[in-house]
Chains A and B, each alone.
Chain A
Amino acid sequence: MLLGACALVQRFHLIPPPILSIFPFCPLMAEGNVRRVPSLCRNMNVISCTKVTLLFNLSNMFTIILLMAAGALTGHLLRHIRLLRQVEKSASLTVFALLFVLGLSIGSNQLIIENLDRFGWQAAVLATAGTAGSILAAALVVQLFFNKKKEKKA
């Protein structure tokens, strides 16, 4: 699906291939890839980069929604099978697998490992700020808009 979409873009020469190559194969930014983009396409980058990324993002999301819907349908049809109650457990096992792969890609990424001590604290400040901000805003929304419903129910 994803590769298909990228191939489509590539076939019609919408975006120079070097930029495309960044997206399907490296989730974490690799320094080499960014630098390898020929300077001729540089000026195009700014415009086309967003387009490719959006395309990638949308096709990826489309697949995810489709899979989820397929899962819901299958689950609904097979809801009497006992084994399905174990899905919750297998889902968290899948998350562990995903975390392992995330660790793998971080551990093997020189850019991250070498820069952790230089940029780590700045990243930590920004991460803390972003997380704290969203948590507080969510708490505010619950307080203002969602607690009344709860009282009604009780």
Chain B
Amino acid sequence: MKKNIAIVLFFGAGCLAGLLQSGKIDVHGLSLYILYALMFQVGLDMGSNGKLKELLNSLSPKLLLVPTATICGTLLFSAAAALVLSRWSVAECMAVGSGFAYYSLSSILITQLKEASIGLQAATELGTIALLANIFREMTALLCAPLIRKHFGRLAPISAAGVNSMDVLLPAITRCSGKEMIPVAIFHGLLIDLSVPFFVSFFCKL
């Protein structure tokens, strides 16, 4: 609970600071370096607890089921969401869903790839929706990780995190599901990361 309050506070403070400042700052460079620092620390943590070999041995082909579940579940339900959102087609909803919480990449790809078929206006709108939807997904996964773990099992927080299971969500996943989930989470994140450009462009061209 304390963690959640901190998450909301930091995120909210960032939003507020962003709203108030008028000049442009290079946020992307900054976030990239913080991400690198985080990944180094994740490595440190893994290496120092002395169970590196056990962790690596726990990798098995069966773990491919986790990214598969993430992809199938997300795409299926995103397609179903098209029933509610009459403005967008099934393929367009699936393109947004296949961002898997990778908001920066998916929104840029969708805007660019969709422009030829539905025009700049609609493509920008869909890109913005992709951006918002994938940010929402990241925040949901982050805030609800303990809840998801409790009701849906130890793999569910990893699937919910999508591409973020290997970075931003990794500390939260470790806390809820245990240290033995770290390799699964990283493996899952890498595979989903690779699949995003593929699925987004596939559904955009459909």
Residues of the B chain whose Cβ atoms lie less than 8 Å from the Cβ of A50: 109, 113, 197, 201
Q: CA A23 – CA B34 in complex, angstroms?
A: 18
Known A57-B197, A96-B7, A130-B78: A108·B25 in contact at CB below 8 Å: yes
Considering the complex, give the chain A residue whose CB is closest to the CB of B167: A64
User: What's the nearest-Cβ distance from chain A to residue B173, in Å?
Assistant: 11
Summarize B's interface: helix, strand, loop or mixed: helix
Tell yes or no: A97 within 8 A of B by CB: yes
Scan residues 43-90 of chain A and give those whose CB is less than 8 A from a CB of chain B.
Answer: 45-46, 49-50, 53-54, 57, 60-61, 63-65, 67-79, 81, 84-85, 87-88, 90
The residue in A50, A67, A71, A79 that gathers the most chain B C-beta atoms within 10 A of its C-beta is A71
**Cβ B159 vs Cβ A46 within 8 A:** no
Summarize A's interface: helix, strand, loop or mixed: helix
The total number of A-B Cβ pairs within 8 Å is 345
Residues of the B chain whose Cβ atoms lie less than 8 Å from the Cβ of A143: 153
Tell yes or no: A126 within 8 A of B by CB: yes
Tell yes or no: B203 within 8 A of A by CB: no
Q: CA A107 – CA B27 in complex, angstroms?
A: 11
Residues of the A chain whose Cβ atoms lie less than 8 Å from the Cβ of B111: 29, 34
**Cβ B131 vs Cβ A112 within 8 A:** yes
Residues of the B chain whose Cβ atoms lie less than 8 Å from the Cβ of A24: 28
User: What's the nearest-Cβ distance from chain A to residue B126, in Å?
Assistant: 9
**Cβ B137 vs Cβ A29 within 8 A:** no
**Cβ A103 vs Cβ B156 within 8 A:** no
Q: CA A151 – CA B162 in complex, angstroms?
A: 28
Residues of the A chain whose Cβ atoms lie less than 8 Å from the Cβ of B134: 127
**Cβ A138 vs Cβ B159 within 8 A:** yes
Residues of the A chain whose Cβ atoms lie less than 8 Å from the Cβ of B57: none
Interface string of A106-128 (1 = CB under 8 A from B): 11110111011001101111111
**Cβ A100 vs Cβ B42 within 8 A:** no
Q: CA A68 – CA B45 in complex, angstroms?
A: 10
User: What's the nearest-Cβ distance from chain B to residue A12, in Å?
Assistant: 21
Contacts A96-B6, A133-B78, A141-B69 aside, 9 further interface pairs with beta carbons under 8 A come to A22-B108, A50-B201, A57-B196, A79-B49, A94-B34, A104-B15, A120-B132, A125-B84, A128-B136
